[in-house]
Structure 1
Amino acid sequence: MWFKHLHLYRLHDASSLDSTQLETALAAQAFRPLGGAEARRIGWTTPAGRAGTQYLHELQGHRLMTALRQERILPASVVREEVDERAAEIEARESRKLRRQEKQAIKEQVYEELLPRAFVRSQKTDLWWDTRRNMIAINTSSRKRAEELLDLLRESLGSLKVTPLATQTLPIRAMTTWLTDPAARPADMLLGDQVELKAKGDDGVLRARQVDLDSDDIQRLLESGRQASKLALGLEGRLRFVLHDDLAVKSLSFDDALIEEANQTDDGDDAMVRMETDFLLMAQSLSDSVDRLIDWLGGEATNHSSMDNVSLAATS
């Protein structure tokens, strides 16, 4: 249940659905197994797995939902090999070279034949909805997967107006400043030992782990014009993470004291109680931590005039 990554979004004109209405909406878009000819499908599943029947868990304003995505794994190399073999057989039999359109037709036929026999990969993705802060966070390392889950939520609700969380100070600028000027670091910030430095020109990206970020070597790279696009940070007494230049928060590691508090909670060996206990402790900690991160970055940006990433009402 403990999230590993966060893609953060701000809700605008948040839906007033209560938990009962939302449960019904999620159930209507529940996951169904892939059909034989389908390449992929996504739908809602129960966060507690087989132990639960609810699609929504809401605790003190924190909502937990889980999407299940399935896709068939059909490597392009397998398709290409079969296409080449069939094409060669036809060319030998008919003593001619196949046209591009003919090879494309063979490729489509091969794909249709092999797809039902391909392996199926399943992946669950959790979504945390903080109703008090009108914020959504999705536990995935991929922005594309996060947007896919938002599309599912929009389809379930009928409309959803949401933008990626943005701050007054760009993360890349703030992270670079924190590295070059220790005095600019917030008092409760812990500097980690991992960084990614981007060059302004075509000099590529430099990645370093388990290094002293205050070392002369790192400072010389920064003086040469490189900027921090990823930086390992910590919030004292709460968690450690890697901040990315798109405000994604990855590689989350929660403080031992919080994990110990969760472990000491009496759950009566009830898997559902354990999941909800862990979720609530995590959500409360993350809410405060995200608020603090936004403060570090100068507060939340208020200009949402660019609507490229806004999800509006679903259309049929």
Structure 2
Amino acid sequence: MWFKHLHLYRLHDAPTLDAAALEEALAEHAARPLGSQDPRRLGWTAPAGRAGTARLHELQGQRLISALRQERLLPSSVVREETEERSADVEAREGRKLPRKEKLAIKEQVIEELLPRAFVRSQKIDLWWDTRRGLIGVNASSRTRAEELLDLLRETLGSLKVTPLSSQNLPMRAMTQWLVDPASRPTDLVLGDQVELKAKGDDGVLRARQVDLDSDEIQQLLEGGRQASKLALEIEGRLSFVLHDDLALKSLRFGDALIDEANASDDDDDALVRLETDFVLMAEALGTNIERLIAWLGGESGTATGTSTDITKSDV
């Protein structure tokens, strides 16, 4: 249950749906088996998997919903080779050079024939909705996947206005300052051992792991004008992560005390109870520590960056 990555969004004008209405809406957009000609499909699924059928778990103002993303894996190299071979056969048989339009038609035919035989990759993506804080977090490795899930939620609800969570001080500027000046670091904030430094010019990106971030080598790079675009951090004893310059939290790890509390809870070997217990503990820890992180970054920005539109079903 414990999230690995988190893309954060501020929810504006949240739709007023109770748990029963939301469950019904999710059911209308439930995951279905991938059709033979479908390259991909996304729909809501039960967060508990085989342990439960509910598509929504809501406890103490915290909502957990999950989507199943299915995609047929058809390598472009396979399509290209088959298209070239069939095009060459036609050219040899008819003694002419095929125009681009006919090659595209052959390519479409190849995809149509090979797609039903392609392997299907399935991925469950979890979404955390903190109704008290008006915050949404998506447990996805990329922002593209997170945005796909938000599009599905927008279609499900009919309207959803969100913006990427942003802070008054740019994360890159704050991370760089924390590296340069130890005295500027918040009391409970501890540097990890991983960093990504970007140059202002065309010198590329420098990535370092398992290094002392207070070392002379790192300081020399910072003095040369590089800035931190990713930085491993720990909120002492509670949560560790790699902070990205877009405020994404990657490689999340929760404190031992929180994991021990979850393990000590009496779930009577019930997988559903275990899921909900872990989720509530995780959600509260995330909410509290994200608030602290945003405060360390100067507070939340009044004007969030990124795209944000209030789209209705008729617009989709």
TM-score by length of 1: 0.98
Moved more, 183-192 or 96-105: 96-105
Offset of residue 312 of structure 1: 2.9
Report matched runs for 1:196-275 at 5 Å. 196-275=196-275
Alignment check: 8 A CA contact 1:163 1:311 kept: no
Distance 1:244 1:130 in 2: 22
Alignment check: 8 A CA contact 1:161 1:313 kept: no
Q: Residue deviations 1:1-45, cap 9 Å, x none?
A: 000001000000111111111111111110111111111100000
Q: Which residue of 1 aligns with 2:307?
A: 308
SS in 2 for 1:149: helix
Alignment check: 8 A CA contact 1:196 1:229 kept: yes
Gaps of 5+ in 1: none
Offset of residue 172 of structure 1: 0.3
Letter in 2 for 1:74: L
Distance 2:65 2:307 in 1: 25
* Percent of aligned pairs with the same amino acid: 72
1:298 lines up with 2:295 in the alignment: no
Distance 2:227 2:310 in 1: 31
Offset of residue 309 of structure 1: 2.9
Report matched runs for 1:270-289 at 5 Å. 270-289=270-289
Q: Which residue of 1 aligns with 2:104?
A: 104
Count of residues in Structure 1 that have an aligned counterpart in Structure 2: 315
Alignment check: 8 A CA contact 1:238 1:258 kept: yes
Q: Which residue of 2 aligns with 1:42?
A: 42
Distance 2:114 2:306 in 1: 41
Q: Which residue of 1 aligns with 2:89?
A: 89
Q: Which residue of 1 aligns with 2:28?
A: 28
Report matched runs for 1:140-151 at 5 Å. 140-151=140-151
Question: What is the root-mean-square deviation of aligned Cα atoms in Å?
Answer: 1.0
Offset of residue 308 of structure 1: 2.7
Letter in 2 for 1:152: L
Report matched runs for 1:171-182 at 5 Å. 171-182=171-182
Distance 1:264 1:133 in 2: 28
Distance 2:130 2:276 in 1: 15
Offset of residue 311 of structure 1: 4.2
1:122 lines up with 2:112 in the alignment: no
Offset of residue 303 of structure 1: 2.2
- The runs of 4+ residues in structure 1 deviating greater than 6 Å are none
Report matched runs for 1:71-86 at 5 Å. 71-86=71-86
Alignment check: 8 A CA contact 2:158 2:312 kept: yes
Distance 2:212 2:50 in 1: 46
Distance 1:142 1:95 in 2: 48
Offset of residue 102 of structure 1: 1.2
Letter in 2 for 1:161: K
Report matched runs for 1:45-84 at 5 Å. 45-84=45-84
Distance 2:307 2:244 in 1: 20
SS in 2 for 1:161: strand
Alignment check: 8 A CA contact 2:55 2:66 kept: yes
Report matched runs for 1:5-24 at 5 Å. 5-24=5-24
Offset of residue 307 of structure 1: 6.9
Offset of residue 88 of structure 1: 1.2
SS in 1 for 2:122: strand
Alignment check: 8 A CA contact 1:128 1:137 kept: yes
1:160 lines up with 2:137 in the alignment: no
Q: Residue deviations 1:111-158, cap 9 Å, x none?
A: 111111111010000000000000000001110000000000001100
Distance 1:29 1:228 in 2: 41
Offset of residue 206 of structure 1: 0.1
SS in 2 for 1:50: helix
Distance 1:132 1:10 in 2: 12
SS in 2 for 1:234: strand
Distance 1:262 1:96 in 2: 70
Distance 1:313 1:189 in 2: 41
Letter in 2 for 1:310: T
